[in-house]
Amino acid sequence: MRRAGGSGLGTAAAVVYAGAIYAFIFLPVVVLVLFSFQDGRFPVPPFRGFSLRWYEALIADRYLTAALVNSVIVALVSSAVAVTLGFLAAFGLARFRLPGAGLQKALIVAPLTVSYLIIGMGLLITFNAIGMPKSLFAAGIGHVVINMPLCFAIVFSQMGAHQANAERAARDLGAREWQVLLLITVPMMGPALFAAFFLSMTFSWDEFIISFLLTRFDVTLPVEIWSMLRSGLNPKTNAAGSLVFFISVALLLVLELAVFGRRRAR
């Protein structure tokens, strides 16, 4: 039920305000997508006509497709590692009384308060010092550093008494620790783990500075787009951005439908 007391004027003001903010939020994306179809070299008005040539150029660009694959790999692998480590730590800290638990928690979430630039730079200097070359692998390590605290925090916040009881019941029935973890806790924590994984993927997918500092040729998509920006002004960059947008939105819709569908069915 809607709450009483919303005057007509108030509603109008609310609609106008929300509309203005939404317009602000959507403006750059609309412009980006529109001028990705620009038939000409300059992605600014006037719009000279509709063309798909920049998308063709994009698909022909093997550096870009390679970067796309790299981004997917890093996002999947680093998120899987981050969720695993974060989940185990959350389980350990939520279920057992360990000395210095507060300190351990603080240590694990500490990277959240530090800028990506500083984390990336620290890793760069350290890897240089031990002679480890720049690579996608190095960037992946960095992505785990930034995402693990987040995964830990999400999973830890969802560890409740409910699961603990189920775990205890399983143990009483003779299940081993790994069986409890894999067959009871993981499934019960499913939504939280999924959320953590999904969020990690998003951050890894979009992360720039760590990948920029730590990769050389096997760059990720944001780094490749950055160098595209620096190698010529044309709507190809628009096309790349739009394509990323379309893929992400499609992915989001699929997930949304899948999650929604399951929720309804329940």
Partner 1 sequence: MATVRRRGGDGLRPWAFVVPALLWTVAFFCAPFVVMAAVSLWERVGTDLVASWSFVNYAKFFARPHFLEAMANSLEVTAIVTVLSILLAYPLAWILAERVPERWQRIALICAILPFWTSYVVRSYAWLLVLANNGVINQALTGIGLIDEPLSLANSRTATVIGFVHFFVMLLTLTIYANLKQLPKNYARAAADLGASRFATFVHVILPLTLPGIMVGAFLTFVLCIGDYITPQILGGNSDLVMPQLIMLQIGRRADFPTASALAILLMVVVTLVYIACARWLKLERA
Partner 2 sequence: MMTTTMRKSLLAIGTSAIALVAAGPALAAGELNALVWCDHTDPELIRPFEEAHDVRVNLKEYEGTGTALSLVEQSRPGDWDVFVIDGIDVPRAIDAGILGELPEGTAPDTIFPEVALDELQVRDGKRYAVTEKFGYNTVSFNKADVDPAAMEDMTALWKDDTYKGQIAVYDYYLPVIGMVAMGLGKQTADLTEDDLPEIRETLFKLKDNAALVGEVVSSQTAIATGEVDILVGGGEWVTAGLSAENPDLDWILPEQGGVRWSQSIGVFADSERKDLAVEFVKYILSPEAQAKLATSSCYWAMPANAAAGDALTDQQKQALRWDDQPDYLKNAQLYPSPDAELDAKMQDLWAEFLQH
Mask 45-84, x = binds partner 1 (CB under 8 A)? x---------------------------------------
Tokens, residue 100: 């210095």
DSSP string of 69-125, one letter each residue: HHHHHHHHHHHHHHHHHHHHHHHHHHHS--TTHHHHHHHHHGGGGS-HHHHHHHHHH
The 10 Å CB-count burial string (b at 16+, else e) for 149-163 is bbbbbbbbebbeeeb
| Beta carbon of residue 53, minimum distance to partner 1 (angstroms, whole number) | 18
123 is an interface residue for partner 1 by CB under 8 A = yes
Range 147-186, binding partner 1 (CB under 8 A): 148, 152-153, 156-162, 164, 168, 177
Among 99, 131, 161, 264, binds partner 2 (CB under 8 A): 131
Q: How many CB atoms within 10 Å of residue 98?
A: 11
Closest contact distance (angstroms) between CB of 143 and partner 1 is 10
Contact in structure between 149 and 111 (CB atoms under 8 Å): yes
Q: Is 78 exposed, middle or buried (0-12, 13-18, 19+ CB in 10 A)?
A: buried
Task: Write the binding mask 62 to 101 for partner 2: x where contact by CB under 8 A, - elsewhere.
Answer: -------x--xx--xx--x---------------------
Footprint on this chain of partner 2 (rule: CB under 8 A): 40-42, 44, 60-61, 69, 72-73, 76-77, 80, 124, 128, 131, 133-134, 183, 186-187, 190, 216-218, 227, 229-234
